[in-house]
Amino acid sequence: MGGSSAEREISLISGAAVLTALKESGVDAFAFDPAEQPIWKLAGMGVDCVFCILHGGAGEDGTVQGALDLLQIPYTGSGVLASALAMDKIRTKWVWQAAGVPTPRSCRVAAADAGAAVVAEYGLPLIVKPVREGSSIGVTKVARLEEFAAAFAQAQTLPDCRQEEVMAEEFVAGIELTAAVLGREVLPLVRIEAPEGRYDYQNKYFTDVVQYHCPAGLPADVETAIGKTVLAAFDALDCRGWGRADLILAADGSYSLLEMNTAPGMTGHSLVPMAARAAGISFETLVLKILAEARCG
C-alpha cells in the first residue's frame, strides 16, 4: 500500500481497509509501503503472498509485479504484461481495437499547439489526459479549442509524465458505467451520476455529491452483453484475478470501454466493493476471494 505515485493517498486509504478486513478474517497480515523501504526486504519477512493495493505508477504498471516475480512471492491481481498494458491507455486501446473491443478514438499528443488538428479529427468536446495515470488525475474535458493548451499543460504536471505521454480522446456522451471483474465473473454494473458530469478525483473520493446506482437499472440483455464485452477486454489484456472496466453507454445503445483498472480502489467510495455488495459478497469475503487468486508469473 502507499507507494510514490500521484494516487498514494488513495492507496493508503484502500490499504487500510484491506488490512483491517484481512486481520478481521484471521489472516496474519501487515502493511508494507515500498515508498518507505525497498521491496526486496519482503524476501526476509516470511511473506507467503502480497495483497497488492498500490494504485498508479510503479505499483500498478508491472514494475512491482516484476519485482515480486523475481522474489518468487505470489501477489494478487494481474501480472507484468497485463499491468503494464492496462496502465498505458494508448496501448490498451491498440490491443482492444485489434481484438474488436469498442473504445473511443484517441491519439498521442506531442505538443500544446496540436489542438487544432485534434479538434478537426475528433470534434468538441474532447478529453485530454495523461497516458499513465488513474483516478481521473490530470483529466480535462476541453469544450473550446482555446482550452486545449492549458489541458495539455495540466496533463504534463504529473510525476514522470513526458510530452509523448499525453493523449486526446474522442468524447462519447452517455451513461457512465463501471464493471467489476472478480475471477471470471462480471459483478453487477454500477451507474454513476456525477454533478455536471464531473466524476473527478475530488468527487470520486472526498465528497458525497456523486450518486451511484447498483444494480444499474439497465435491461438484462444489455447488462449481459456489456459483461461479455468486458470479459473479452479483460482477457485481451491478459488480466487476471480482479479488475474494473470503465465505460460509456450511449443513447443509441452502443457502448465504449475507456480503460481497465488492474488494482481498483477499495475505499468507502470505491466501486468494486459496491458491486460486490449487490452480488451478496461482503467486503471481507471480497478481499479473501481476491487473495485466493494470488500467484506469480
pLDDT on residue 272: 97
Helix/strand/coil percentages in the chain, nearest 5? 40, 20, 40
Of 204, 238, 207, 211, the residue nearest 95 (C-alpha): 238
Q: Is 130 exposed, middle or buried (0-12, 13-18, 19+ CB in 10 A)?
A: buried
| Residue that is written with C-alpha cell 472496466 in the block | 245
- Give yes or no for residue 205 having a pLDDT over 60: no
pLDDT at 128 exceeding the cut of 50 = yes
- Superfamily assignment of 106-170 in CATH? ATP-grasp fold, A domain (3.30.1490.20)
Distance CA 246, CA 266 (A): 16
Domain 8-77 architecture:
3-Layer(aba) Sandwich (3.40)
Measuring CA to CA, how many Å separate 159 from each of 8, 152, 194? 12, 14, 27
H-state helical runs in 25-106? 57-60, 63-71, 80-87, 89-99
What pLDDT score does 243 carry?
98
Give the Cβ contact number of residue 206 at 10 Å: 11
Q: What whole-number distance in Å separates Cα of residue 145 and Cα of residue 260?
A: 29
Report how far residue 242's alpha carbon sits from residue 52's, in angstroms, rounded to the nearest whole number: 11
pLDDT at res. 217: 96
CA–CA separation, 43 vs 73, rounded Å? 8
107-133: average pLDDT: 91
User: Among the CATH numbers 3.30.470.20, 3.50.50.60, 3.40.50.920, 1.10.10.10, which is that of 85-102+172-292?
Assistant: 3.30.470.20
According to the model, what pLDDT value does residue 158 have?
Answer: 57
**Rg over CA atoms, the chain:** 19
Place of cell 499543460: 153
pLDDT, one tens digit per residue, over 146-188 is 999 999 988 887 554 444 489 999 999 999 999 999 999 999 9
Residue from 1, 7, 2, 12 nearest 159 by CA: 7
Name the β-bridge partners of 247: 177, 257
List the domain boundaries for the chain. Answer: 8-77, 85-102+172-292, 106-170
Which residues are annotated as catalytic? 7, 135, 205, 244, 246, 259, 261, 265
Query: Cα–chain-centroid distance for residue 144?
Result: 28
